[in-house]
Amino acid sequence: MGCVIEKLFKELCALTKNIATMANNQVNQRLQNLMDSLGYRFADISLPQLALTHRSFNSKNNYERLEFLGDSLLGMIIAEALYQRYPEHKEGILTRMRATLVRQESLVIIARQLQLSNYLILGAGERKGGGRQRASILADTVEALIGAIYLDSGDIYIVRKCVLSWYGDLIDSVSEQKVLKDAKSRLQEWLQAKQLGLPSYELLETQGNAPDQVFIVQCQVNVPDFPTIVQSGESRRIAEQKTAELMISQLNEFFNDK
């Protein structure tokens, strides 16, 4: 009986070891895939792991400090790139162009190109709540990875090369017409051009607890028989911008049909 138990114990230990080895191999393969997407090979593997870790998984050791560092680096890199590529633009225009390129919406585009949602390390609740596609998390992770690359390489030129490769044509295609006015400004000008007054925004509801709240906002315009638009976002500003963007689209359809 003792021999049987000993044999079973050895088999269990071997199975456990094999499972652990397979798990480690999967993690390593995922990191290799990520580094291929990033265009950078980390010497310290703990840095990209930290950059992908949300506070819902670990409240103490997560990407927030790396995000802080990456945010500053990103602003400087984009500012320099715009300064070099648009010598004819004045400071005010360059500032708005930079704001467009470093805002959450642009970072989400990059995160999706890099397929970062596949690598996020989230707590169970955040995973179930759709955290892998949450815009704020994706944007934060891009900035955290920038910070991680800088700490790992210690070379701002390497970081710049990575960041500009991620942005690709976004910097070259940024135009004054696209960046000077956000959706709310464009909606306001659209309405004023038709002498329809100003839009109004109202916060209807705030769901969840900080920092993972969802804001639900409605937008109304002074157009007879036109419905209100309701959208949600990770911040009130984002929700308002989304309502304005949808409102512009539907107003164009409404007036074109008449």
33, 68, 135, 161 alpha-carbon torsion, rounded to 10°: -50
Say which range, 59-73, 117-131, 205-219, has the weakest mean pLDDT: 205-219
3-class DSSP state for residue 205? strand
Establish whether 240 is a catalytic residue: no
Place of tokens 């999967």: 26
Domain region containing 227? 183-256
Q: pLDDT digits over 83-112, tens only?
A: 999 999 888 888 888 988 998 888 988 999
Question: Catalytic: which of 67, 71, 140, 234?
Answer: 71
Domain membership flag for residue 8:
no
Establish whether 189 is a catalytic residue: no
Residue 255 has which token pair? 């007036």
pLDDT score for 21: 40
73 and 159 Cβ atoms separated by less than 8 Å: yes
Residue (of 124, 121, 123, 76) closest to 102 by Cα position: 76
- Give 203's pLDDT tier (boundaries 50, 70, 90): very high
Q: Are residues 156 and 170 located together in one domain of the fold? A: yes
Residue 62 has pLDDT above 80, yes or no: yes
Question: Catalytic: which of 143, 182, 240, 245?
Answer: 143
| Backbone angles phi and psi of 114, in degrees to 5 | -85, -5
Domain containing residue 226: CATH number? 3.30.160.20
pTM above 0.85, yes or no: no
- The segment with the largest mean pLDDT, out of 5-14, 122-131, 140-149, is 140-149
* Last residue within a domain, chosen from 178, 206, 233: 178
